[in-house]
């Protein structure tokens, strides 16, 4: 794979068409969701807080809007706090019930449950049993959310609760491939349908596709680790990420590793001395080329490895981003607000 072409996906339309975004199990899962959603009391649509719009499955939105729905934005610990406030205002303006959570924190999930119970207050008064369905694209944390719900329910109902069967959790998209039912509550009886992550068959917008790949909804190997890493650097550079990095971020580094701090220093120093135009494609590619070469050295990847070496460099960069060690970034800008025509910028 050539390292050149920061915007390679946009310039090579044939390659985009050949990318398999939609494995076979997703088609059958989408059909099963459409069939079973008719009987559920509430749909919990899980999205990624870093891409609140890009992580929505557009083909299911018409169906979801006809049901009681709560949108849960997971991975809030990786999203820009200022942008979360703006996104909250956006969804409130559109009367869409939502909550931001970290699926690995029980306290955060309890907050979500409070919203669920409030949403279903009338239903709870009439029905002793509730059925929820968890839906979302791959790797947004649906299974992690369910597992935390299990732990919470088990703590509340130790004496009565049956042994809990946890949902599968993995680092790669597509771990859950069949719809499964789980009991998470006794009084009232609450059942959850866990569904596989499903994407739309075709992702026409290249920027959306790269955001999905960067946040892990699409396997890196499908798009190419090198392309995704270079897209990440273009985002960090164009948004002047180095101006928002704080001493607290450096202090959060592991005592045994300074790699994140070293990467941030390289990005900062290269951006400060850069005299090109970041809005120019060729200038941006030159800056990214320079940064990738510097990263190869600090990651101690031999130059003779060729493309395999660049994949190793890219994987390390992506891991740093996905664990929050390059800062908290929201990739989707908030759409224009109709009433005052203001476009919020990602701060």
| 22-194 CATH pick, 3.60.21.70, 3.40.50.300, 3.40.50.720, 1.20.1440.130 | 3.40.50.300
Rounded Cα distance between 339 and 13, Å, is: 37
pLDDT at 12: 37
Q: What separation in angstroms does the CA of 157 have from each of 106, 107, 160, 164? A: 15, 17, 5, 11
Rounded Cα distance between 317 and 311, Å, is: 10
| pLDDT band, very low/low/confident/very high, at 21 (cuts 50, 70, 90) | low
pLDDT at 15: 41
Nearest C-alpha neighbor of 210 from the set 234, 175, 176: 234
| pLDDT band, very low/low/confident/very high, at 191 (cuts 50, 70, 90) | confident
Question: Tokens for 246?
Answer: 């704080």
Question: What's the whole-number mean pLDDT along residues 205-210?
Answer: 90
pLDDT at 248: 62
* Eight-class DSSP state of 273: H
Rounded Cα distance between 52 and 332, Å, is: 7
Average pLDDT over the chain reads: 81
Give yes or no for residue 167 having a pLDDT over 60: no
Question: What's the whole-number mean pLDDT along residues 115-125?
Answer: 85
Rounded Cα distance between 284 and 88, Å, is: 32
pLDDT at 172: 43
Give yes or no for residue 342 having a pLDDT over 80: no
Q: What is the H or E stretch that residue 296 is in?
A: helix 281-298
| pLDDT band, very low/low/confident/very high, at 151 (cuts 50, 70, 90) | confident
- Please name every residue paired with 48 in a beta bridge, in sequence order, or none if there are none: 74
Q: What is the H or E stretch that residue 228 is in?
A: helix 225-238
Give yes or no for residue 13 having a pLDDT over 50: no
Give yes or no for residue 161 having a pLDDT over 50: no
Give yes or no for residue 212 having a pLDDT over 80: yes
pLDDT tens-digit series, residues 289-319: 999 999 999 999 998 888 899 999 999 999 9
- pTM (two decimals): 0.84
In 96-202 the beta strands, taken as DSSP E runs, fall at 98-100, 129-136, 180-185, 189-194
Binding-site residues from annotation for GTP: 74-77, 197
Higher-scoring residue by pLDDT: 296, 122: 296
* Eight-class DSSP state of 38: G
Nearest C-alpha neighbor of 299 from the set 290, 289, 308, 309: 309
Give yes or no for residue 97 having a pLDDT over 60: yes
Q: Where are the domains of the chain?
A: 8-14+203-322, 22-194
Binding-site residues from annotation: 74-77, 197
SS3 65: helix
């Amino acid at each position: 794979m050539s390292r050149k072409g920061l915007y390679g996906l946009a310039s090579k339309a044939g390659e985009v068409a050949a990318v398999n975004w939609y494995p076979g199990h997703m088609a059958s899962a989408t059909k099963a969701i459409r069939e079973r959603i008719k009987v559920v009391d509430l749909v919990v649509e899980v999205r990624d807080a870093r891409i609140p719009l890009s992580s929505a499955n557009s083909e299911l939105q018409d169906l979801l809007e006809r049901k009681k729905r709560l949108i849960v934005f997971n991975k809030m610990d990786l999203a820009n706090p200022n942008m979360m406030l703006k996104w909250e205002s956006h969804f409130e303006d559109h009367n869409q019930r939502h909550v931001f959570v970290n699926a690995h924190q029980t306290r955060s999930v309890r907050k979500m449950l409070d919203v669920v119970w409030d949403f279903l207050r009338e239903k709870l008064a009439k029905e002793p049993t509730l059925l929820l369905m968890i839906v979302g694209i791959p790797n947004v944390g649906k299974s992690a959310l369910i597992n935390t719900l299990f732990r919470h329910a088990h703590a509340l109902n130790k004496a009565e609760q049956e042994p809990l069967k946890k949902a599968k959790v993995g680092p790669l998209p597509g771990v859950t491939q069949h719809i499964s039912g789980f009991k998470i509550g006794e009084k009232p009886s609450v059942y959850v349908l866990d569904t596989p992550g499903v994407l739309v068959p075709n992702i026409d917008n290249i920027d959306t596709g790269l955001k999905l790949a960067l946040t892990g909804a699409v396997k890196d190997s499908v798009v190419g680790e090198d392309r995704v890493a270079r897209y990440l650097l273009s985002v960090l550079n164009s948004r002047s990420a180095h101006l928002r990095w704080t001493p607290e971020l450096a202090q959060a580094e592991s005592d045994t590793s300074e790699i994140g701090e070293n990467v941030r220093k390289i990005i900062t120093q290269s951006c400060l001395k850069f005299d090109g135009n970041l809005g120019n494609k060729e200038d941006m590619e030159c800056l990214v080329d320079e940064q990738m070469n510097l990263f190869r050295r600090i990651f101690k990847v031999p130059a003779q490895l060729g493309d395999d070496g660049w994949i190793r460099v890219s994987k390390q960069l992506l891991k740093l981003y996905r664990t929050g060690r390059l800062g908290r970034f929201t990739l989707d800008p908030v759409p224009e607000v109709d009433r005052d025509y203001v476009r919020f910028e990602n701060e």
